[in-house]
Amino acid sequence: MTECLITDEDGVVQGSCGLDDVFRLLANARRREIVAVLDSSDANWIERDRLLADPSGTDDGMEAIEARDALHHVHLPMLEDLGLIEYDRQSGAIRYYQCQLLSSVLAAIDLR
């Protein structure tokens, strides 16, 4: 299986992810949108509310409350379990770590 390092802005390795993990993560349109926003951000952190305020039109018709709940209870925990983010549930701050494999797959499917 192909493994890729997950690094912070200083190049310090935070973990690794595999190709199967990346495909599982990107299998959902909402998560692709979330990861694209995180990956294209100039900073290594973002506020949770910004992810809700930046829809790309792939919302699947979910109500705002359902979208917020899915972000908080499904999508962000999945990213956190893979080691791609640290999510402070109290403040809503999300710290994103880079994964070149994930970035490459996103570029290949051209979501940006």
CATH classification (class only), 3-109: mainly alpha
Rounded to two decimals, the pTM is: 0.79
Tokens of 93: 């701050």
Place of tokens 């809503």: 92
How is the chain split into domains, by residue range?
3-109
pLDDT digits (tens, 9 = 90+) for 57-81: 445 555 778 888 889 899 999 999 9
Task: Fill in the amino acid letter for 78.
Answer: M
Buried b (16+ CB within 10 A) or exposed e, 3-27: ebbbbeeeeeebeebeeebbeebbe
DSSP one-letter code for 73: I
List pLDDT tens digits, range 4-17: 889 888 888 888 88
Residue type, 20: D
